[in-house]
Structure 1
Amino acid sequence: MTSHLSEAVHTLVPGRDDRYGLLSPALVILTFVSGLVDALSYLSLGHVFVANVTGNIVFLGFSIAHAEGFVWWTSTLTLVAFVAGAVIGGRIIHRFEGNRAKHLLISTCVQAAFVAAALIGIYLLNRFAPEPAMGGAGTGAAVAQAVRDTGPSLNFPTASHVDLHVITLIVLLAPAMGIQNSTARKLSVPDMPTTVLTMTLTGIVADTSAHGHEQSKLGRRALVLTALAIGALIGALLQTRGHEDVILMIMLACLLAVIALMAPHVRSDARWVTGR
């Protein structure tokens, strides 16, 4: 147990000569962001995932089979927007792949710009084009007054139609996560894809079974799984209380933390920066 705890601490506070250096804690933070954004998207945007896009392909199949037009549109829009983000991520890789700190810095800056745009967009929509409260109750004027009294929130129905609030969040958050996924894939830090953690969980169980618990990398892997779960928990708690704007603010703060981690090292020749 002590060795696993030490491994988790070393992941968050890596040594100077660590092969992946500050990439590891940065990707843990981005994993937490994935939990937040998927809680927001699944609970508020008609049961789609903007980070774990595999689920959207399944939902798309479900929607076609059951003729659920709302889910079909949201799933399709999410996939298209995510792919657009992956294209942007690919261009960033092409330009900055030789310096991993600069690569993560630039990609996170672009990702943060998308999240900031989503926050501003939702605030403006709630101020000037508020939707009826969830369940369709209340007049537009009543909702507008509620927004002024309590601050920005999504306040839109999520099971009947695609409105501007849903479209705004999908077209801004899905590209942000496409960029994050492409970046994590290129960095290839073991057990830290930041979104789909199926193989991470499988690795804990399979490696323990094959080689014993000392070879399971439990500390590192459990840390990542916990980050995703805590992000999802916090996101769900905030969403159920109508604080979707706060979720976006926390996401933005996390991205700024990653930027702050990377910025001082863009000119470093450390092993984790150069990849050599």
Structure 2
Amino acid sequence: MKAPFDPRVPLLLLLSVTTGLVDAASVLGLGKVFTANMTGNVVFLGFAASGAPGFKILPFVAAIVSFMLGALVAGRTGKAHIGRPERRWLMTSAIVETALLWLAAVLALGFDVALQAPEGRLFAIIALTGVSMGYRNATIRQLKVADLTTTVLTLTLTGLSADSSAAGGVNPNWARRIGAVVAIFLGAAMGAWLLLNVGLAAPLAFAGVLVLFGTLACTLHSASKRIVGT
């Protein structure tokens, strides 16, 4: 029997695109800092701590701390929506994330990528996008949609191989797993192009548009009437 359509699946694939957009903006525009994927920051922080040239400690610390702050707020927000319609929770999260990304885009209009100046704006953009992505990650974690974290691909790629026919598996969720990889790839490519040809603000602003209107489209589906926690 075919499983019923889950509007969260295409939404999470779209949000995976925005991960690529945000990380393209942060890595290429903010000095090799990831604000959506924290694994890279921990590795780069280790490089910086060892004195490797081209890596500074404070930007990575700022990204990690802001990400964790966003996750903390999202955790409390998700628990506050238990017993309420899921669509209300999703739209609340989308509005928060979009507002943070658009504010970061506004600040990016006055930021010199080549000189990484002014420094105050550098840290403000890192903080805003870090909080946004932390908020997103914690929200998605609470949704518990299999194989769609929107930011991390290590386990996705592992699953594709380990659960494949070649490994004696049955290829569960292979389409969404491949879709997640393609989505982040496309987002990164688009984000890089927008940054190089339009400016740092462009990928951040576009990410906010996708988050807001993608979530709105999802919440219009009747399945989004489900009650959180049931």
Same fold (TM over 0.5): yes
Cα distance change, pair 25–162 in 1 and its aligned pair in 2 (3 A)? same
C-alpha separation between the residues in 2 aligned to 1:244 and 1:121? 10
Q: How do residues 123-142 of structure 1 correspond to structure 2 at under 5 angstroms? A: 123=109, 126=110
Aligned residue identity for 1:202: T
Match of 1:116 in 2: 102
User: Alignment partner for residue 23 of structure 2, among 22, 26, 38?
Assistant: 38
User: Alignment partner for residue 42 of structure 2, among 52, 57, 60?
Assistant: 57
Asked if structure 2 preserves the Cα contact closer than 8 Å seen for 1:155 and 1:242, the reply is no
Q: Quick check: 1:201 aligned with 2:186?
A: no
Aligned residue identity for 2:89: H
Match of 1:175 in 2: 131
Asked if structure 2 preserves the Cα contact closer than 8 Å seen for 1:181 and 1:195, the reply is yes
Asked if structure 1 preserves the Cα contact closer than 8 Å seen for 2:148 and 2:176, the reply is no
Asked if structure 1 preserves the Cα contact closer than 8 Å seen for 2:18 and 2:207, the reply is yes
Q: How do residues 191-230 of structure 1 correspond to structure 2 at under 5 angstroms? A: 191-208=147-164, 209-212=166-169, 215-230=171-186
Deviation at 1:76, TM superposition (A): 0.6
Match of 1:264 in 2: 220
Match of 1:142 in 2: none
User: Alignment partner for residue 90 of structure 2, among 100, 104, 111?
Assistant: 104
C-alpha separation between the residues in 1 aligned to 2:23 and 2:67? 13
Q: Quick check: 1:66 aligned with 2:57?
A: no
C-alpha separation between the residues in 2 aligned to 1:158 and 1:211? 52
Structure whose alpha-carbon radius of gyration is higher = 1
C-alpha separation between the residues in 2 aligned to 1:242 and 1:263? 32
Cα distance change, pair 224–267 in 1 and its aligned pair in 2 (3 A)? closer
User: Alignment partner for residue 246 of structure 1, among 202, 206, 228?
Assistant: 202
Aligned residue identity for 2:190: I
CA deviations 1:213-265 (Å, max 9, x no partner) are: x5243222111110000000111122222522211221111012233124435
Report the RMSD for the aligned CA atoms in angstroms.
2.5
CA deviations 1:153-182 (Å, max 9, x no partner) are: x423357x7712311210111000000000
TM-score (norm 1): 0.74
Asked if structure 1 preserves the Cα contact closer than 8 Å seen for 2:18 and 2:187, the reply is yes
Cα distance change, pair 95–199 in 1 and its aligned pair in 2 (3 A)? same
User: Alignment partner for residue 32 of structure 2, among 44, 47, 68?
Assistant: 47
| Identical positions, percent | 33
TM-score (norm 2): 0.88
C-alpha separation between the residues in 2 aligned to 1:228 and 1:237? 14
Asked if structure 1 preserves the Cα contact closer than 8 Å seen for 2:96 and 2:132, the reply is yes
C-alpha separation between the residues in 2 aligned to 1:47 and 1:119? 18
Cα distance change, pair 68–76 in 1 and its aligned pair in 2 (3 A)? farther
2:163 aligned counterpart, secondary structure: helix
Aligned residue identity for 2:177: R
Deviation at 1:46, TM superposition (A): 1.1
Asked if structure 1 preserves the Cα contact closer than 8 Å seen for 2:163 and 2:172, the reply is yes
In structure 2, the gaps of 5 or more residues are: none
Asked if structure 2 preserves the Cα contact closer than 8 Å seen for 1:238 and 1:247, the reply is yes
